Amino acid sequence: MNNKRPDSMERITTSELAKKFIDEQIAEIKAQVGDKKVLLALSGGVDSSVVAALLIKAIGKQLVCVHVNHGLMRKGESEQVIEVFKNQLDANLIYIDATDRFLDLLAGVSEPEKKRKIIGGEFIKVFDEEAGKLEGISFLAQGTIYPDILESDGVKAHHNVGGLPEDMQFELVEPVRLLFKDEVRVVGKELGLPASMVDRQPFPGPGLGVRCLGAITRDRLNALREADAILREEFDKNGLNKTVWQYFIAVPDMKSVGVKDDKRYEGWPAIIRAINTTDAMSATIEEIPYELLHHITKRITSEVEGINRVLYDLTPKPVGTIEWE
Ligand code: XMP
């Protein structure tokens, strides 16, 4: 497989160029796969979604997508994967709700790297078990993109929960391996994927697991998911989704005293992080209008069970990393 982007390869910026790329890839995929079956771990992230849409177009039901819900997805994400791929694109999609497996394993674990290892390891196990139940799979499709190849110093491999076991005996299908992220998005749009999917901000593989700080509990994870959904909704409504690179909520494992409905109300703080960056190596803090911060604070503290304060993280990277864990 060619893993070097030719110098002559034009940057895909327009619908016409995307169409041309899609047609070429469909022919290439058909030639590679023939009438065999292909397996894909579909996280719902930009890269795997675009690969899924391309393969569905090329080989239809010969593609088997497996979506593992590790219980650490943002609100509505797994539902969107099912809606887009199963209901709209009629894909051969296996949905596995492995929430209990992951949360049971994570119970009481507070060390960030240990949490990452558990989530990554369990993901491979669940996917492997599912792959073992299927018959006649010859190929494994992956959403590898060009920066993954350029950075093949292991950074992404370590980062990505979707990283699969090396001993899997499948030939790889990696149709977007020579593309940069912005090109993957243009191709995704041309394939008809919704903007909320192709324009998604980066989301770490371990998901909300590294934002529910310390040992994860179901009630605090739930509060985090609801608060995060409100933040996203308000950023979307106010156009900040177009100007802010990454924004999310982290909820630490500590409570403070508050008052709600005239009664003492102990709750967790929701910490807002909203940063801008080009490469995630360093980051600046976005100026969010105070009025909007007040509005978000009001919504989160009144709508989310368990949260009684909202804080805004003003720390650039360095010194702070983007994620809290
Ligand atoms: P940090 O926190 O290192 O984050 O400043 C830089 C970028 O990487 C993302 N990130 C991760 N992505 N698995 C991932 O796939 C991870 O374990 C992980 N940790 C951080 C983070 O969201 C930010 O975009």
Q: Which residues line ligand 1 (CB under 6 A)?
A: 116, 159-160, 202, 204-206, 246, 280, 317, 321-323
Q: Does residue 90 fall inside a structural domain?
A: yes
Residue 322 domain-assigned (yes or no): no
Give yes or no: residues 125 and 61 share one domain.
Answer: yes
Identify whether residues 25 and 170 lie together within a single domain.
Answer: yes
pLDDT at residue 156 in the model: 41
Q: Return the ligand 1 atom nearest residue 324 CA.
A: 2
In which domain, by residue range, is 254 found? 211-312
Answer yes or no: do 234 and 176 share one domain: no
Nearest CA to ligand 1 atom 6: 280
Instruction: For the chain of 325 residues, list the mean pLDDT of each consecutive stretch of 10.
Output: 91 98 98 97 96 98 98 98 97 98 98 97 96 95 94 53 64 97 97 95 96 98 98 98 97 97 97 96 95 98 98 98 97
Q: List phi, psi (to 5°) of 249.
A: -115, 140
pTM comes to 0.92
Give the Å distance between the CA of 154 and the centre of ligand 1: 14
Q: Which residue, judged by its Cα, is nearest atom 12 of ligand 1?
A: 204
| pLDDT value, residue 48 | 97
| Shared domain check, 265 and 226 | yes
Q: Number of folded domains in the chain? A: 2
Please tell me the predicted confidence (pLDDT) of residue 153: 57
Question: Quick one: pLDDT at residue 169?
Answer: 78
Give a yes or no: residue 204 inside a domain: no
pLDDT tens readout for residues 304-318: 999 999 999 999 999
Considering the domain architecture, whether residues 188 and 218 belong to the same structural domain is answered as no
- What pLDDT does residue 59 have? 98
Identify which of 74, 159, 203, 244 to mutate to test ligand 1's pocket (most ligand atoms within 8 A of the CB): 159
Give the mutation target among 284, 319, 323 for probing the ligand 1 site: most ligand atoms within 8 A of CB.
323
Question: What pLDDT is attached to residue 51?
Answer: 98
- Alpha-helix residue ranges (DSSP H) falling in 200-282: 218-237
In this predicted structure, what is the pLDDT of residue 165?
61
Determine whether 107 is exposed, middle or buried from the number of CB atoms within 10 Å of its CB (0-12, 13-18, 19+).
exposed
Q: Which among 142, 173, 198 is the end of a domain? A: 198
Which two tokens mark 104? 């049971």
Dist CA 288 CA 312 (whole Å) = 10
Q: Which of 88, 38, 45 is nearest to 65 (CA)?
A: 38
